[in-house]
Amino acid sequence: MNTEKDFSPLTPNIVRALNDKLYEKRKVAALEIEKLVREFVAQNNSTQIRHVIQILASEFALSQHPHSRKGGLIGLAACSIALGKDSGLYLKELIEPVLTCFNDSDSRLRYYACEALYNIVKVARGAVLPHFNLLFDGLSKLAADPDPNVKSGSELLDRLLKDIVTESNKFDLVAFVPLLRERIYSNNQYARQFIISWIHVLESVPDINLLDYLPEILDGLFQILGDNSKEIRRTCEVVLGEFLKEIKKTPSSVKFAEMANILVIHCQVADEAKLTNDLIQLTAMTWMREFIQLAGRVVLPYSSGILTAVLPCLSYDDRKKNTKEAASACNHSLMKLVTPEDDEDEEERNGSTRPLSREDDQPKTEADGNDMLNASQESVGFSNISFFTPASSDRPQVTLDLDGIVQVLDRHLHDSSTGMMTRIAVLKWLYHLYIKTPRKMFRHTDSLFPMLLKTLSDESDEVILKDLEVLAEIASSPAGQTDQGGSCDSTDNKLKLKVPEGVTPGQQHSSKAGDLSPSTPSMNSYFYKFMINLLKRFSLERRLLENRGAFIIRQLCLLLHAENIFHSMADILLKEEDLKFASTMVQTLNTILLTSAELFQLRNQLKDLRTQESCALFCCLYRSWCHNPVATVSLCFLTQNYKHAYDLIQKFGDLEVTVDFLIEVDKLVQLIESPIFTYLRLQLLDVENNPYLIKALYGLLMLLPQSQAFQLLSHRLQCVPNPELMRTVNVPKYVDSKRPSHTQMDYSELLQHFDRVQSKHLEVRHQRSGRASDHSDRKLM
């Protein structure tokens, strides 16, 4: 430094001492400066005070010489001490050169800068708050300083500054938040510790409402929560916990919508291998649960994003039990927020009398009621889902993001990696939406329908059961009615879909009443499409029919009334071109009809044929049952058409008797011995009025080889009393007194129909055997 330069009012001795390499000499110079400045203060000479500070800053603190810089720092601290309460008038000039030295490469000089700034701040106290951002910015850099002495000095200064902020009520939070938002994303461990400690202090000050600015720092807090340091994570947990407590106390002032997207992002774990991510996810999910419960319907416009985050967590195992439980609570609370008012259009809410158009109220359907939806068709591709789009401020009502929700649910159904509990939750959501918002949901039915049918092949029975409940609600909801109703016209009679007896609007029609629709289960156009596609799926997936067919049909009988299911399936199978499948399907339906507890009422309806409706149902079933001769006979046994059963068995001699055919006869004999046919066995006591029953049973006996079934039926027939009464009575004398006159049927026409169906089956079998023979000949050649 040029000692010839004029540094007045600093004396040459002070200048030399400030430049000295010895600390003691610089300290003596600082005392002289303090004395000099005190004199200027007494004289109220602010010009000379500023001149001294300017010389110390530019000529010393910002000098190129390290000892000069050290002298400048101690001189500036001395000025502040001398100024006392008046130091606030000169803080900018005092602080800025000291903060510049925070970036010095010499660790000793950075330490002296900390010491100088500590003395300046200690004297100025609350007066430093207008310069808080400068101080905070400098301290945030020193918090990560590699030198332990510098770190120790910065921590002392940090504690002093925190005390000042805590004591003062003039802290400018608005000016500070942008800097905090910037610094909170630091990846340095020490910087993070510094940031989170300051947030903790500010949050605890009653006069500082940091909650208003939480949306700006919440994402950064979750980033810090993932730090590798256990201490930092613990502090961050405490801070987040305090914020959540405050949110619960004052929910009306919380900006839920602005923070919801942040929670959605952190509820989704990118790297499940990191334990810290589990903590982030659990904390975010806990916050989400509280948000839904506190904000209520305010979160409905953002429900698609919430479901995107929540649904995958429902399939977590016990290692993430807490996260799973929090996600389940979120899902349950969100579902409860959807109400029937969400099915109203905005015009309706505003009292408009505009009539609903068919596009508003009803789903689009094909012109032909018999056209089938492609059960195996995949839905269109999915675009990336945007989590939250805040509703406009002038919208008077909260709007449910139904389209977004359906997109999320459909995506999870299509994803093969979706866990079982998640799939169940998705189906529960779809069912709930069809109950609460049926009109709007039916706009999505055509796109959802194929995937719902595909889900019937799921490996979980519980998933299939929930899927059936959704499909049943689609098929029975009044909102699905169209002009092209799915009537089931056959050549002779028309399917009339019925409502279960004793069911009124608001009642359920299943053993699980609480899970089902409160609406009246009157069938709509989707019912017939559902039946067509279900049978098509059984035809394409025979394993599904073998393993789950009975389960699916029995559940549908509970959900949609057994008569509707059997009547519609019989009508569809009557037109089935694949005769082998038709025979297999009839056999399956017949077994369900004769053995399932769910079909008790339908069996009783068919047992006596006392009404015109029951006779029409019998005729509808009979025409399809003809695809399987043994099933047809068993239907006749069930309906007590014993003479017709005997006439059918007489025709069995003209059929191709195969091993499979004999196995079916064997099963029928076993069924005759079951509780279902108790009434039939008791009728064997009345030989005179039931001769054709006995003759039909003897016909079955003659068909069987001498097997176990043969022995079983033979022993049963040996128990018939007084064999002489088995003589056939005159046909005119035999009149079934149980049948009302209006239920008499044309059995000759039914026999002719049986012959026609069996001829088709025989022709198909001959064609198959011919093709097999040609194939064998070609191989031999």
Least confident window among 127-136, 236-245, 503-512: 503-512
Taking alpha carbons only, the member of 311, 328, 321 closest to residue 264 is: 311
Enter the tokens of residue 333: 């609370």
Query: Which pLDDT score is estimated for 450?
Result: 94
Q: Which residue range is the domain that position 424 belongs to?
A: 402-479
Is residue 464 included in any domain, yes or no?
yes
Q: Let me know the angle formed at the C-alpha of 455 by 450 and 458, rounded to the nearest 5 degrees.
A: 160
Whether residue 37 contacts residue 52, with contact meaning beta carbons closer than 8 Å, is answered with yes
What average pLDDT does the segment 309-328 reach?
93
Identity of residue 524: N
Per-residue pLDDT tens digits for 424-469 = 999 999 999 999 999 999 999 999 999 999 999 999 999 999 999 9
**Amino acid making up residue 142:** L
pLDDT of 722 above 90: no
Last residue of a domain, one of 430, 462, 479: 479
At residue 536 the predicted structure's pLDDT band, cuts being 50, 70 and 90, is: very high
Q: What is the pLDDT of residues 654-681, one digit of tens each?
A: 888 889 899 999 999 999 999 999 999 9
Beta strands, E only, 267-308: none
Identify whether 289 is part of a domain: no
Give the residue among 651, 643, 653 at the shortest CA–CA distance from 747. Answer: 643
* The two structure tokens encoding residue 32: 């002289």
Give every CB contact of residue 756 below 8 A, 6+ residues apart in sequence: none
The mean-pLDDT minimum among 113-122, 227-236, 300-309, 502-511 falls in 502-511
Higher pLDDT, 349 or 376: 349
Other CB atoms within 10 A of residue 101 CB: 24
- Average pLDDT, whole number, for the chain? 84
- Pull the structure tokens for residue 202: 């500010």
* Burial bucket for residue 89 (CB in 10 Å: 0-12, 13-18, 19+): middle
- Does residue 257 form part of some domain? no
Q: What is residue 743's predicted lDDT score, i.e. its pLDDT?
A: 60
According to the model, what pLDDT value does residue 109 have? 94
Contacts of 324 (CB under 8 A, 6+ apart): 313, 314, 316
Q: Is residue 495 within 8 Å of 620, Cβ to Cβ?
A: yes
Last residue of a domain, one of 142, 169, 196: 169
Instruction: Confirm whether 512 is domain-assigned.
Output: no
Q: Who contacts 165 (Cβ-Cβ below 8 Å, separation ≥6)?
A: 129, 132, 171, 201, 202, 205
What pLDDT score does 507 carry?
Answer: 33
Q: Domain boundary residue among 169, 190, 208?
A: 169
The mean pLDDT value for 713-731 works out to 71
Helix (H) or strand (E) holding 97: helix 91-100
d(C-alpha 243, C-alpha 218), whole Å = 10
Residue 238 has pLDDT above 80, yes or no: yes
Q: Is residue 495 classed as helix, strand or coil in its secondary structure?
A: strand
Neighbours of 194 (CB within 10 A): 22
Contact assessment for residue 679 and residue 607, using Cβ atoms and an 8 Å cutoff: yes
Q: Is residue 11 part of a domain?
A: yes
**Which tens digits make up the pLDDT trace of 88-124?**
999 999 999 999 999 999 999 999 999 999 999 999 9
Count the neighbouring beta carbons within 10 Å of the beta carbon of residue 460: 14
Question: Is it the case that residue 241 has pLDDT exceeding 80?
Answer: yes
State yes or no: pLDDT of 772 exceeds 70: no
Q: Which of 677, 668, 679, 675 is nearest to 713 (CA)?
A: 668
Q: Given a cut of 60, is residue 491 above it in pLDDT?
A: no
> What is the helix, strand, coil percentage profile of the chain, to 5?
70, 0, 30
Residue 769 has pLDDT above 80, yes or no: no
Torsion of CA 305, 307, 309, 310, to 10 degrees: 160
Q: What is the pLDDT of residues 143-189, one digit of tens each?
A: 889 999 999 999 999 999 999 999 988 899 999 999 999 999 999 99
pLDDT at position 746 is 82
Which residues, listed in sequence order, are joined to residue 489 by a DSSP beta bridge?
Answer: 494
In this model, does residue 63 exceed pLDDT 80?
A: yes
Does a structural domain hold residue 119? yes
Pick the closest to residue 225 from 283, 182, 183, 309 (CA basis): 283
DSSP state letter for 383? P
pLDDT higher than 60, residue 762? yes
3-state helix/strand/coil string of 460-483: CHHHHHHHHHHHHHHHHCHHHCCC
Q: What is the dihedral of CA 49, 50, 51, 57, to 10 degrees?
A: 110
CATH of the domain at 409: 1.25.10
Q: Which residue has the higher pLDDT, 745 or 456?
A: 456
Task: Give the pLDDT confidence of 629-643 residue by residue, as tens digits.
Answer: 999 999 999 999 999
Alpha helices in 541-685 (DSSP H): 542-560, 562-574, 579-595, 600-608, 612-625, 629-638, 642-651, 659-672, 678-683
Mean pLDDT, range 55-71, rounded to an integer: 92
CATH number at residue 76: 1.25.10.10
Both structure tokens of 382 = 């999915």
The tally of domains found in the chain comes to: 3
DSSP 515-561: GS--S-----HHHHHHHHHHHHHHHH-HHHHHHHHHHHHHHHHHHHT
Q: What is the reported pLDDT for 493?
A: 37
| Cβ pair 418, 412 in contact under 8 A | yes
pLDDT mean over 605-612: 89
Q: Is residue 232 part of a domain?
A: no
Q: Is residue 690 part of a domain?
A: yes
